[in-house]
Structure 1
């Protein structure tokens, strides 16, 4: 429930900052007014896909919804994916936010783990957003430009994320990858 409350509070704060009604937020994000209200009240926990829709509609980073806090100071910072790993957004899809979005840098870094045969597809992000995928272990495929591209440990790819894209584990063990998401400078 703690995650639902944090996401909801952040959503409500963003909506108020923009001066948007729930109707306007629903139109901007493509997420129903009812669902947005439930998220704001902490009654519903959005999936990764819904959270991306909301972040894209508000033109903010995905990590702004799940990061604990950031003081925006660019200082040395050590992170441990094992301590940060969470599965609460989708069963079989573990998310570790290694470095939240920092406006001075323009990117966020995740370590993601896909259970065997798990597949996740994402709607297009905003124009100019790019994703950089590095397969750390296992075997996976990445969907972009309308087709699936295989990656094995040590292989990497970059693509424009303003298109339908996705990730799937094509092996029998967990596939682990790093995802650096870069947002265009505003």
Structure 2
């Protein structure tokens, strides 16, 4: 697998240039500074998940397109264990394992997320129409949707609008491991 910084740098530059955007215009669309975008494109910076979300939303691309290279499409795909692909750490208190990166034919990405004890994050609104699905596979946590924190425990699921204010927090003493599906109805194949 190629260096994650190199993959991120190449993917960002390709997405930006593919839309005919300058760094200035990309900064306007994403809310991420021109300097930071340049550092990412040169492989000099490892942005936070929050910053990657801003860039993905501004450029109308999926989050996992920045994390993991696309694999060849086939009818059956065997995934190595999440331990082999988990990002250590994706952000303070958060680990991401992109089990199936964004697939344009299906319109979604599928990830395992691990929220450490004490983790809390209010997420930026994603592009219109984005829907998130969370299923708790171990531990317990809360998801903010429609202005309410919803307590979830092992085996429980929630679906919510990713294009509205939302958040995640783990107030328990143990890590919470979840499966996350993010559907992007607006991305073109």
TM-score bin (small chain): over 0.9
Corresponding residue pairs, total: 186
- Verify the 8 A CA contact 2:4 2:68 in the aligned structure 1: no
Counterpart in 2 of 1:81?
82
1:53 aligns with 2:51: no
Gaps spanning 5+ residues in structure 1: where? none
The CA distance in 2 between the partners of 1:22 and 1:92, in whole Å, is 30
> Is the deviation greater in 114-123 or in 63-72?
63-72
Counterpart in 2 of 1:160?
161
The CA distance in 1 between the partners of 2:152 and 2:61, in whole Å, is 29
Query: 1:94-113 counterparts in 2 under 5 A?
Result: 94-113=95-114
Gaps spanning 5+ residues in structure 2: where? none
> Is the deviation greater in 2-11 or in 101-110?
2-11
RMSD between superposed Cα atoms in Å: 1.5
**CA-CA distance at 1:87 after TM superposition:** 2.2
- Verify the 8 A CA contact 1:131 1:179 in the aligned structure 2: yes
The CA distance in 1 between the partners of 2:142 and 2:11, in whole Å, is 33
> Judging changes above 3 Å, is the alpha-carbon distance between structure 1 residues 17 and 48 closer, same or farther for their aligned structure 2 residues?
same
1:3 aligns with 2:10: no
**CA-CA distance at 1:148 after TM superposition:** 1.0
The CA distance in 2 between the partners of 1:74 and 1:33, in whole Å, is 40
